[in-house]
Amino acid sequence: MDHTIIYSHVFTPEQFQRVLHYTKKYYGMDEPYFYRTLDAWVDSDQPITIYNRLPFEDFYNRLLFADKSTTRYMELIPNEEIAIIWALMFIEWGLQCERLKEQDDDYTLDDYYTDNPNEYYRDHMREELLKTYLFCKQTPVRPGRTNEIILTINKGIKGYHEKLTLPNFENWILRGALLQYCENHLEDIHSVEEARQALDGYHAKGRKANETVDRIIYGTYAMFKETAKDVRMTSTGLCRIIQNYLVYLRLVESDQETALDPQNIAGRIKYLLRAEKQPRFSPYIVTDLDILRQSGRNTFQDMID
């Protein structure tokens, strides 16, 4: 993505609150996403300045009124709903701020997970449990004998390194304790093959980028569709707007014709809808665990309490 963001746009606190209604509801982005550092967002009574690669007029014309299909679709949007256009500008700035936060040596990803442990479990625990499940199922066992196991934590870290050696008769730790925990939290996994297939999804090239693309596609689709009161599942004009936005954000390259095809975007939307997926960014401030509880018992609640 082009990092040349030079046009500043200033929004009043009232305008910012209007924008947040859309960014939270459709994309999952809350206030901290739109500040360069996590400690800069606490004063909500001040105007907020964001930066984009285009001035408002060019942003408006190139993305939303680029051709007849997008223009016809935009005619369905009431004039008073200008905040959805601001929201697109904020999403661009939010993605840039995330890169700036990643470069901030004073606040690392480990710091973020320390402040938001439930986010760590949602982001990583399933992958870790899949690996543990496969290890438990595939480790050979010596029946009727000890299968010595060594538990080590914080190896190489002075003052925190601990080691425990257990006889592990008939491999009861892997066959029973750990395996049972994995099975209880991976309710959709019933075999080694299913676990491998699920784990492969985490190793796919470009997975993080694809997740961002899905979040932008679904969020933009839902926001425009509801604002326009569009009863169709998909429409060419809306898919073209999403296409223009993805290209503008440099999330897809202009020479990737299949990725740019509105029919391809429409197909992706239909897949997300049929799979009942609503991909969103994880909010920084989580006041409860409702998001984690949506998938039933597979919430790692016992790890959070």
Whether 64 has a pLDDT exceeding 60, the answer reads yes
The per-residue pLDDT for range 158-203, each reduced to its tens digit, is: 888 999 999 999 999 999 999 999 999 888 889 999 999 888 876 6
Structure tokens at 204: 């796919």
Mean per-residue pLDDT for 58-70? 91
- Alpha-carbon distance of 193 to 195, in angstroms, equals 5
> Looking at residue 5, what is its pLDDT?
63
Query: How many whole angstroms separate alpha carbon 90 and alpha carbon 216?
Result: 12
Q: For 127-151, how does the pLDDT look when each residue is reduced to its tens digit (9 = 90+)? A: 899 999 999 999 999 999 999 999 9
CA distance 148 to 135: 15
* Burial class of 278 by CB neighbour count within 10 A (0 to 12, 13 to 18, 19+): middle
Rounded to 5 degrees, φ, ψ at 150 are -115, 120
Give 121 or 9, the one with higher predicted confidence: 9
Q: How far apart are CA 151 and CA 104, in angstroms?
A: 34
* pLDDT confidence band for 261 (50 / 70 / 90): confident
Residues 6+ apart with CB under 8 A from 38: 32, 101, 107, 112, 284
Amino acid of residue 172: W
- Check residue 208 and give its pLDDT: 56
Q: What's the 3-state SS for the chain?
A: CCCCCCEEEEECHHHHHHHHHHHHHHHCCCHHHHCCCCCCCCCCCCCEEEEECCCHHHHHHHHHCCCHHHHHHHCCCCHHHCHHHHHHHHHHHHHHHHHHHHCCCCCCHHHHHHHCHHHHHHHHHHHHHHHHHHHHHHCCCCCCCECCEEEEECCCCCCCCEEEEECCECCHHHHHHHHHHHHHHCCCCCCHHHHHHHHHHHHCCCHHHHHHHHHHHHHHHHHHHHHHCCCCCCCHHHHHHHHHHHHHCCCCCCCCHHHHCHHHHHHHHHHHHHCCCCCCCCCCCCCCCHHHHCCCCCCCHHHHC
